[in-house]
Structure 1
Amino acid sequence: MKKKIPPFIVLIALMISVQSMAQQTGSINTQVTIMGQSRTLACYVPTNYDPNVSYRLMIGLHGLGDNGNAYRNALITVLKWPSIFPNTIFVFPDGGTDANSDFYVPAGDEIIIDSARSFAMSNYNIDNDFVVLQGFSLGGRSAIKYGLDHPTEFKGLLLNTPAFQGKNDVQNHPVSSLQFNYANASQLPIYLTVGDQDFYYRILGPAVKKLKMNDAVIRYLPVAGLGHSIPDSAKVVPSFTFFEHPEVADFDLDLFDIELSQHTCDASITPACFVQNRGSAPVTSVEVDYQFAGGSGTYTWTGSINAYEHARIDLPSMVTADGEQALQLSIGKVNGTENDTVVLNNQRNDTISVDLIAESTPLNEGFESVHSDWVITETGTIFQWSLDDEVSRSGQYSMATFNTILAIYTYGNVESFESPVMDLTNTIGNKLTFDVAYNYHKYTPPYFLSDTIFADTLEVVLSTDCGLSWQSLYKKGGAELATVPDPIVNALNLNQCFLIPADSSEWRTDTIDLSAYDQESSVIIRFNYISGEGGSINLDNIHVNGLKIGLVENPDNLFKVYPNPARDYFRIQAGLEEITSLRIWDMGGSLVLQDDQTQEPDTERQLDISNLPTGLYQLEVEADGQRGTSKLMITK
């Protein structure tokens, strides 16, 4: 028969076991079983550990491809965290055999965080009120997920560049997000660092805004010049003090966001801003000083916001002016007479492109200089359209973007840029032409079980009501959009994801008929790049043009042209006025030659047309503010 062991003997045995483990200091490892798999807890216990003293606990979650042992070495040996966080025991759970995922893959994997805490509590004298959850990269993403789900278990979260997987992840997309419990953000302090050279820097901006909109007790610290890394000790050591005392002053308002459209055709705007009270004193009124389009003023908001609560402030209507306009906001007096003692977060600027006067066609954009009237939609991702100085059809620059399965999840995301407002009423037979270079991605075994295509889509849409509604004109993707015969196969790093055209044969000029909009006076064209998680695109030389109507046939003999018909060249003689612009259009409405060279009065010069085929053309000349036209026949 089995013998029953007296309870006091079990208790003695447990005490001996705990005492034995507690005597181990320095770097030690222990094993725990998680979902049938043996996992390592890599620990560090101060070498002068005293069981009679209560110690703080930090649980650290490593990033992609790392493990608990290596992460412990980085923080303990290299960054020397025991010296900046004294009287602290560290536990670094291992992510398991799935090293290329976080602590939520597979489902239930996050239980190792609780196992790490339980191990430390069982074997060492831990201050249960000072347990910090730390994480780097994907470990940081897991840490904020776990911390927001269990806010009462931690003193605070120390997050070093938490790797949110894009806009969808931040916004709790039902398919592609960990589903962050932002509603709990006010229940525990969050200290978050990120380098301004980090891949995730632009993604974390919207994430921090989301947290502040939920009254997060957060200190956000961008670090200049830092990439995807943990900053030096000077940047992280204030975290423990912040966890103890989040309010640093009586009055500290953080002006953290401006609500302002990027493009408008209206004569006035009504912006809003958002402030968070990071001080200890309740705030009942805030002065907001503003400057916009040459005007300025002060608006006083009244209400009530306690520590770390936020408020939306709807500002008064402001008169716009044509062109790019900057809105500058700053915090003035608080509660009538008080000064905000922390001024670094009191100011914020934003810009808006105002189109009160439509541009007449032709519109020619080669992206060779800064054009503020073209608007890139800000999405807070690394995939926004941007100028590319390495790929172009002509000149030095083009517009470019890309998507890939090697980075964050972007499926279905749309990146856009749009033209200024155009008036097409002075031309007929209008057309849009643009140069495109594009390729998509394909993966084959062994990377996928079968051949798998990832292909983005380009859509061109048009608005006649300043962006209130859009009509689709063009939509191509994958092989139909591609300008080379074969896809990019098995791209394994970002550099392999891009199409670099070898020559002009790997570009294509596409044309869209706009004649249905010839009488529209307020036209915007937008280029939408829709993610299928695979593709690289460049656009260059965007032209909108048609045949001019209502022009006088060479008024007052502004110029003379000969020979006409011409073959490989013609000569143009200026009249009494200086010629400032010359353009040649074919009968289909396409601009085939543009020359903006100034020509003095009563002079003549020769222009090369050897590359133009036989046909009838329209020559348009501008001189002294007048425009004149002439027919030009070319015969070969």
Structure 2
Amino acid sequence: MKKYLILLAVACLGKEALAQQTGSFNSSVTFNGTARTLANYVPATYTAAQPHKLVIALHGMGDAAASYRNALVNSLAFPAAFPNTILICPDGGADQGRDFYQPAGDELIIEEAINFARTNYNIDTTEIILQGFSLGGRSALKYGLEHASKFKALLLNTPAIQGVKEAANEAIFNYNFSAAHELPIYVTIGNNDPLYNEPVNRTVAQLVANNGMVAYKIFPGAHTVPAFQNYPYATFFNQPFSNGPDAGIYKLNVPERSCDGTIAASVLLQNTGNISMDSVQLVYGIGNDLDTVNWQGNLAQHESALISLPAYDAGSLSTDHYDFEVSITGLNQQITDTFAGFNATEKQVHIMPEVLSIPFEEHFQSEASLSKWALNNSGDYILPFEYYEEDAALFSLNSIFIFDNSGTREEAISPKLDFRNQGNVYLHFNVDYNYVQYTANVFADTVFADTLEVLVTTDCGATYTSLFKKAGADLSGHNEPLLNPLSIDAIAVAKDESKYRSFTVDVSQFAGQENVAFKFSYISALGGYIYLDDVSVTNSPVSTKNVAVKQSVLSLFPNPTDGLLQLTLNNGKSIESVTVCNITGQEVLNLKGSGTAAQQINTTHLPAGVYWLQLKSGSDLIKAKFVKQ
């Protein structure tokens, strides 16, 4: 009997010894048959007599539990922001390039970490927070919404939502947004994180639309976790609303184009304050020509509503792109909004009251020509239809190397054209397009071929009719596809006019219509690039070749470059600033302009690849693309 009492005492002492371990240390647990690391931090003041809070923190791609724990504790001041709190960072396992949902069942390491903490420490189970960064934040959002009752709150630092399809729950990886009202959710993201800015914006809008208890903070910076002391996380988790009347706008819907000067817009509005709202005063419009509306209804705390604004009259404006703005000016009959965050938003709208005559030609000789074109983008960063000076064409691409954006569309909509008094009418355009093929020895014997569809509308986009749809070899002017590209850079190929393929579509069936416009819709199949050029509408079935030499406003030499790159404005204007971003949108150079029409920049330190350059000259923003060898 004495022997068993001694063994029991030893076992208890062992558990007590672990329970008293404080500071930063690692433990190992057996999970799915393999050893997994839990990187822990326990405050030096821990005592088993006092229940402690718990944060489970999920690291991002390529990181490991211990290094993530060290960053949170040492660099980001976790102990000061979360006193009397134990931190456990489970390791993502051998597949560090993925998140905590791969392989299947991997997310249960979160429960394993909670059980470890509860077994060895005195944990207040009503005070468990799930935190995550990047792909860890993505996993934390999914797991937290699926198991909302287990957590007090979610803290998502730049959750790596994999594109706008995923944000819309149109991908395999989806979220239980309907549970957003069950626990506070704090989301942060840097304003210079272009891959994730729009997907996260749309995810937050989904949470808000489901009456989520959400705080959303956009900080100056890139893809990182901001210092904990900069944000009142604990305060929000205990009181997930503003201390006073407050509201926010989380989404603005505007039409892709206004043909008659009328703009019908709507906003997603949420009550984020501590009292019910029965009215919201809004100001909206373009420039200084603003309308007001006093919306009346009833929004309880955290409740949201999609509010349609009275039609805005922009009939006095000429054809161009404009910023349509909406802001909150008062609540509950002119009570001042407590906090200004998310009180205003804007979105670009294209206004085109004029109708152009036939023949029509567009050779994209300058960015100014886009004033008559509407651009309808999916929201993903890679890559909407955009204009670059050295190409003098509209360009887009897709790749397997970022998000699954298959089926999304990047669209360019032509000016309105007058088909009255016309007989035979033909649409002509050129494309330099290629698609992607992988062989079995590299990836798989697979073809990824984006599609170009051309549609027509006669009612300003209310309805469209498909005229043309081609992909792969049927669209390409190249002898073979891009074989085995292993990066986005390998797909961002320079324009080659010798590979242009010309197409003609008979659109005579629309003769007699007054408002005809064509939509060029580039549909992702995760592989390919396109340059759209030389769009014309004539009475001849044979296109007239553009014999004019295209003179770019901006010249880059040499391009590709291995070091120094010479910029020259051919219009003689002065260069005020130069910004260079890499293929994923991260800013890598920000330079003061020379004040003259020429400037040399040093790219020696940049890794090889494709870069986007933006040059400011007066009111002009000129874009170009160059390759660093």
TM-score (norm 1): 0.79
Deviating more after overlay: 274-283 vs 468-477:
468-477
What's the counterpart of residue 524 of structure 1?
517
Alignment of 1:363-378 (within 5 A): 363-367=360-364, 368-370=366-368, 371-378=370-377
Does the 8 A contact of 1:429 with 1:588 survive in 2?
Answer: no
Alignment of 1:270-349 (within 5 A): 270-291=264-285, 296-321=290-315, 323-324=319-320, 326-349=323-346
CA distance in 2, matches of 1:507, 1:240: 59
Q: Choose from 454, 468, 490 the match for 2:462.
A: 468
What's the counterpart of residue 626 of structure 2?
none
Deviation for aligned residue 1:384: 4.8
CA distance in 1, matches of 2:429, 2:22: 67
CA distance in 1, matches of 2:403, 2:463: 30
Deviation for aligned residue 1:120: 0.9
Deviation for aligned residue 1:303: 1.9
Deviation for aligned residue 1:545: 2.9
CA distance in 2, matches of 1:427, 1:591: 22
Deviation for aligned residue 1:245: 2.1
Deviation for aligned residue 1:139: 0.9
Alignment of 1:151-300 (within 5 A): 151-173=148-170, 176-198=171-193, 199-224=195-220, 226-235=221-230, 237-266=231-260, 268-291=262-285, 296-300=290-294
Q: Choose from 75, 86, 91 the match for 1:89.
A: 86
CA distance in 2, matches of 1:347, 1:215: 19
Q: Choose from 104, 119, 123 the match for 1:122.
A: 119
1:41 aligns with 2:34: no
Deviation for aligned residue 1:147: 0.7
Deviation for aligned residue 1:593: 5.8
Deviation for aligned residue 1:148: 0.6
Q: Which amino acid aligns with 2:367?
A: S
CA distance in 2, matches of 1:288, 1:165: 33
Q: Which amino acid aligns with 2:48?
A: P
Alignment of 1:496-511 (within 5 A): 496-501=490-495, 503-511=496-504
* SS of equivalent residue, structure 1 residue 202: helix
Does the 8 A contact of 1:291 with 1:329 survive in 2?
Answer: yes
Q: Which amino acid aligns with 2:93?
A: G
CA distance in 1, matches of 2:46, 2:491: 51
What's the counterpart of residue 402 of structure 1?
397
* SS of equivalent residue, structure 1 residue 31: strand
Q: 1:213 to 1:505 in 2, by over 3 A?
A: same
What's the counterpart of residue 583 of structure 1?
none
What's the counterpart of residue 438 of structure 1?
433
* SS of equivalent residue, structure 2 residue 406: coil
Does the 8 A contact of 2:271 with 2:277 survive in 1?
Answer: yes
Q: Which amino acid aligns with 2:524?
A: S
CA distance in 1, matches of 2:185, 2:323: 32
CA distance in 1, matches of 2:173, 2:107: 12
Does the 8 A contact of 2:377 with 2:384 survive in 1?
Answer: no
Q: Choose from 438, 446, 452 the match for 1:452.
A: 446
Does the 8 A contact of 2:131 with 2:155 survive in 1?
Answer: yes
What's the counterpart of residue 57 of structure 2?
60
Deviation for aligned residue 1:295: 5.3
CA distance in 1, matches of 2:395, 2:183: 41
What's the counterpart of residue 590 of structure 1?
544
CA distance in 2, matches of 1:191, 1:534: 35
What's the counterpart of residue 632 of structure 1?
none
From the CA coordinates, give the structure whose radius of gyration is larger.
1
CA distance in 2, matches of 1:479, 1:524: 27
CA distance in 2, matches of 1:380, 1:12: 62
Q: Deviations over 1:396-427 (max 9, x none)?
A: x3212211111111122222221121112355
CA distance in 2, matches of 1:234, 1:546: 67
* SS of equivalent residue, structure 2 residue 103: coil
1:17 aligns with 2:14: yes
Deviation for aligned residue 1:309: 1.1
Q: 1:93 to 1:595 in 2, by over 3 A?
A: closer
Q: 1:591 to 1:518 in 2, by over 3 A?
A: farther
* SS of equivalent residue, structure 1 residue 56: strand
Q: 1:411 to 1:5 in 2, by over 3 A?
A: farther
Q: 1:361 to 1:197 in 2, by over 3 A?
A: farther
CA distance in 2, matches of 1:110, 1:388: 43
Q: 1:112 to 1:348 in 2, by over 3 A?
A: same
Deviating more after overlay: 103-112 vs 260-269:
260-269
Does the 8 A contact of 2:367 with 2:389 survive in 1?
Answer: no
Does the 8 A contact of 1:546 with 1:589 survive in 2?
Answer: no
Gaps of 5+ in 1: 548-586, 597-636
TM-score (norm 2): 0.80
* SS of equivalent residue, structure 1 residue 200: helix
Deviation for aligned residue 1:208: 1.0
Number of equivalenced pairs: 544
Does the 8 A contact of 1:191 with 1:219 survive in 2?
Answer: yes
Taking only aligned residues, the RMSD between alpha carbons, in angstroms, comes to: 2.8
Q: Deviations over 1:127-146 (max 9, x none)?
A: 32221111111111110001
Deviating more after overlay: 340-349 vs 284-293:
284-293
Identity %: 37
Does the 8 A contact of 2:449 with 2:528 survive in 1?
Answer: yes
Q: Deviations over 1:585-607 (max 9, x none)?
A: xx9463656799xxxxxxxxxxx
Q: 1:491 to 1:358 in 2, by over 3 A?
A: same
Does the 8 A contact of 2:454 with 2:519 survive in 1?
Answer: yes
1:72 aligns with 2:69: yes
CA distance in 2, matches of 1:151, 1:344: 26
Does the 8 A contact of 2:327 with 2:345 survive in 1?
Answer: yes
CA distance in 2, matches of 1:268, 1:337: 28
* SS of equivalent residue, structure 1 residue 435: strand
Does the 8 A contact of 2:188 with 2:216 survive in 1?
Answer: yes
* SS of equivalent residue, structure 2 residue 224: coil
Deviation for aligned residue 1:82: 2.9
* SS of equivalent residue, structure 2 residue 336: coil
Deviation for aligned residue 1:296: 4.1
What's the counterpart of residue 563 of structure 1?
none
* SS of equivalent residue, structure 2 residue 138: helix
* SS of equivalent residue, structure 2 residue 367: coil
Gaps of 5+ in 2: 551-629
Q: Which amino acid aligns with 2:211?
A: D
CA distance in 2, matches of 1:388, 1:9: 79
Does the 8 A contact of 2:385 with 2:410 survive in 1?
Answer: no
Does the 8 A contact of 2:385 with 2:411 survive in 1?
Answer: no
CA distance in 1, matches of 2:167, 2:198: 12
Q: 1:521 to 1:39 in 2, by over 3 A?
A: same
Deviation for aligned residue 1:260: 2.2
What's the counterpart of residue 563 of structure 2?
none
Does the 8 A contact of 2:426 with 2:507 survive in 1?
Answer: yes
Q: 1:130 to 1:315 in 2, by over 3 A?
A: same
What's the counterpart of residue 136 of structure 1?
133
What's the counterpart of residue 604 of structure 1?
none
Does the 8 A contact of 1:376 with 1:384 survive in 2?
Answer: no
* SS of equivalent residue, structure 1 residue 423: coil
Does the 8 A contact of 1:168 with 1:177 survive in 2?
Answer: no
